Structure 1
Amino acid sequence: MRPSLVFVALVTAIAAATLSGGAGAAQAVADPLLSQGKPVTASSVENAGTPASAAVDGNAATRWSSAFGDPQWLRVDLGGTAAISQVVLSWEAAYGRAFQIQTSADGLTWTAVDATATGTGGTQTLAVTGNGRYVRMYGTARGTAYGYSLWEFQVYGTMGGTTPPPGGTIPAPTIQSLEAATGPLVTAAYTVPNPSGYRAGTITYPTAAGAYPGIVLMPGYQGTQQNLSWLGPRLASWGFVVLNVDTNTLSDSPDQRGTQIRAAGTQLVNLGNATGNPISGKVNGVLGAAGHSMGGGGTMVALRDDTRFRAGVPLAPYHPSGSFAGVAKPTFFLTCASDVAAPGSTYARPWYNSMTQAEKLYIEVPGDHLCPMTGYGNKAKQGKWIVSFFSRWLRDDARFTPFLCGSQRDADRNNTSLVTQWTDTCPF
């Protein structure tokens, strides 16, 4: 137990233990409690004494607590589709200031049914309307310097609810669908009205209901949003909210671009948590980044320095003094065989080799330094690999794994006119 919180936690536990049914039992609810004793998982745990299971065990004196970082989540599997009517969060002293309650039919695509950026802790009883087999608390900003900690996470409702409409789900991918210019979801674009920390940005997002991972795209030296304009709509049509940015100046360094990626990620999450804009409720707090050249170096900086970024795709990346051995996030390096500005052998390959704790993919393709940019290279293949990588690591969608590991991969990997080098940490 954290020393500074012992007294608060003890008082809370004693008070909660006097309730006949555990935390939240005094709330008058018409629907039954569905979550108690059900399988539960979490993004992390603080230590062995605060497991995820403690949040659904019906014991108001045991708790789950996370690592000290954002974002974090706790997910319960109800065992079947349910109509959710109420969620009760009994916070320990380490509470969530900004979080969403999300539901999912498959544990992959999430829909926000409640959100706040002004949580105050204590016991919060939320009236919600939603359907799904899985329910989770997704925290994006902690209320203290510690993690997120719940004595109990209680979900009420009735089993047998309807599943979300097909437009909010992502169908199983095929080679043909992944190599097409757009994916299965209809998208729209939104110009960021007041960019914060970067010069300008365009968000491309799925119009279907649901909450999706966010991805920041960063151009290279002297580059603009046009550099990666091919990639934003493609990713969005596969279930991502994508912010393609312009840098503060065209000559910003890789470190400055990394700072701007982080600022763009913050604004993307904030817009998702706010109301009155087209992406309200559409960002689930999971973040990734992709960038070209110095933007690729900036992507590595964001992965190294910001726990919110869960995966990255550096494209022909450049950073003259970057050290990234400590990066443990899944990383896909796409490099160009004839690149003299940022040769893979000088930058991406040594970084790949030094990252001993990460799941990794390294693909070198024909072309010069511009090969990942709009109008250059084989976009059918590049798009398939990038969509699959982000789908695997930002949504934990294993249906995309065969296109990077296994038989579906081999036709690409063994085609020397398409791929000049391919190295990975498969299976993943």
Structure 2
Amino acid sequence: MHSTPRTGTTQAPGLSRRLAASAAAVAAVVGLTTLSTPGAQAADNPYERGPAPTRASIEAPRGPYAVSQTSVSSLVVSGFGGGTIYYPTSTGDGTFGAVVVTPGFTATESSMAWLGPRLASQGFVVFTIDTLTTLDQPDSRGRQMLAALDYLTERSSARTRIDGTRLGVIGHSMGGGGTLEAAKSRPSLKAAIPLTPWNLDKTWPEVTTPTLVVGADGDTVAPVATHAKPFYSSLPSSTDRAYLELNNATHFAPNLSNTTIAKYSVSWLKRFIDDDTRYEQFLCPLPVPDRDIEEYRGTCPLGG
């Protein structure tokens, strides 16, 4: 506070009032700056999409965006087997990050179709694809995922809706092994999510893409002890990584609508494709085991 001097000096008329007003104005600006900092930081992220997330919003069967879809015939593409593109109908929020989703051994895109509209409704362009043959191995599936991303961003009808610098990959089983292959081959990818992955290669020290490995405690096709866990453990400690093991689940859990897979996939994609730190709350502190999660490992904080 400013007090009147008790010496013999005098003060110019109104100076005290002007100083007090100036101090109040400065305090108001400081206060507003302090209060607005989180919002200002959020507004500075040009990739942030959609309303502030809640646990209910990431667990919901559909997010805030209406979704459209278009089929892509295998006859008009090369390097993969065609598929279905799901995308937010509105263009009001600008471009979106994009994700290719790939099925497993002997399976078709229909086995992963549930994930397409679910992720797209949260603010992504999602391409669920067929592989060239249902027997393709992980290395081939990895190359096909990259070919699908290239088609999606360069030639597809949805290309103007996509930011080609923000891309990710998701795959099931051998598609999960292919997800790791794709991330290894293209370090510019922003996110990778192998779901109950299978691959003869057990070590992935070359992968720098933020990777969420999802295993299942009851998996007898790709047991976590010889697949998902060593895949996760072999990722370099400098890579943002997490391991989610589903409780009371089998190798085929990703083939049906699964809230646990969806909520953590949405959070991972939002955090790393959109750089949206609002979603980090669902990943750090690390989730604890419950009826849906057998085990969760990871590094926190993320993005460091």
TM-score, normalised by the number of residues in structure 2: 0.80
**Partner of residue 244 from structure 2, selected from 344, 363, 383:** 363
2:208 is paired with a residue whose SS is coil
- The reply on whether 1:173 has 2:53 as its aligned counterpart is yes
State how 1:149-188 maps to structure 2 within 5 Å.
Answer: 169-188=49-68
- The reply on whether 1:419 has 2:265 as its aligned counterpart is no
Whether the 8 Å contact between 2:70 and 2:85 is mirrored in structure 1 is: yes
1:62 corresponding residue in structure 2: none
2:126 is paired with a residue whose SS is strand
Aligned partner letter, 1:304: K
* Identical aligned residues as a percent: 37
Aligned partner letter, 2:99: I
State how 1:23-422 maps to structure 2 within 5 Å.
Answer: 106-109=44-47, 169-193=49-73, 194-209=76-91, 210-271=94-155, 277=157, 279-285=158-164, 286-356=166-236, 357-365=238-246, 366-375=248-257, 379-406=258-285, 410=287, 413-415=288-290, 417-422=291-296
Give the deviation of 1:265 after TM superposition: 0.7
Give the deviation of 1:105 after TM superposition: 5.5
CA distance in 2, matches of 1:258, 1:381: 25
CA distance in 1, matches of 2:159, 2:184: 28
The 1:106–1:230 alpha-carbon spacing in structure 2 relative to 1, beyond 3 Å, is farther
Whether the 8 Å contact between 2:47 and 2:275 is mirrored in structure 1 is: no
Q: What per-residue deviation string (whole Å, max 9, x for no partner) do you get for residues 212-243 of structure 1?
A: 11100000001111111111111111111111
Aligned partner letter, 2:53: P
Structure 1, unaligned runs of 5 or more: 1-79, 81-103, 111-168
Q: How many residues align?
A: 255
Whether the 8 Å contact between 1:338 and 1:368 is mirrored in structure 2 is: yes
**After the TM superposition, which segments of 4 or more aligned residues of structure 1 sit over 6 Å from their partners?**
none
The 1:307–1:414 alpha-carbon spacing in structure 2 relative to 1, beyond 3 Å, is closer
Aligned partner letter, 2:127: L
Of stretches 194-203 and 297-306 in structure 1, the one that deviates more from structure 2 is 194-203
1:113 corresponding residue in structure 2: none
Whether the 8 Å contact between 2:203 and 2:235 is mirrored in structure 1 is: no
Whether the 8 Å contact between 2:188 and 2:209 is mirrored in structure 1 is: no
1:16 corresponding residue in structure 2: none
CA distance in 2, matches of 1:191, 1:109: 27
Give the deviation of 1:271 after TM superposition: 2.9
TM-score, normalised by the number of residues in structure 1: 0.57
Aligned partner letter, 1:207: T
1:335 is paired with a residue whose SS is strand
CA distance in 2, matches of 1:330, 1:404: 13
CA distance in 1, matches of 2:210, 2:159: 28
For the aligned residue pairs, the C-alpha RMSD in angstroms reads: 1.8
Whether the 8 Å contact between 2:138 and 2:177 is mirrored in structure 1 is: yes
Q: State the structure with bigger RCO (CA 8 A, min sep 6), 1 or 2.
A: 2
Aligned partner letter, 2:47: T
Q: What per-residue deviation string (whole Å, max 9, x for no partner) do you get for residues 336-370 of structure 1?
A: 10101101110121121121221111011121110
1:308 is paired with a residue whose SS is coil
Give the deviation of 1:307 after TM superposition: 2.7
CA distance in 2, matches of 1:395, 1:327: 20
Give the deviation of 1:106 after TM superposition: 4.1
Q: Which has the higher strand share?
A: 1
CA distance in 1, matches of 2:298, 2:202: 21
Give the deviation of 1:319 after TM superposition: 0.5
Whether the 8 Å contact between 2:206 and 2:235 is mirrored in structure 1 is: yes
Give the deviation of 1:201 after TM superposition: 1.1
Whether the 8 Å contact between 1:219 and 1:291 is mirrored in structure 2 is: yes
Structure 2, unaligned runs of 5 or more: 1-39
Answer with 1 or 2: which has the greater Rg: 2
Q: Which has the higher helix share?
A: 2
Give the deviation of 1:322 after TM superposition: 4.7
Whether the 8 Å contact between 1:215 and 1:289 is mirrored in structure 2 is: yes
1:101 corresponding residue in structure 2: none
CA distance in 2, matches of 1:195, 1:336: 34
2:194 is paired with a residue whose SS is strand
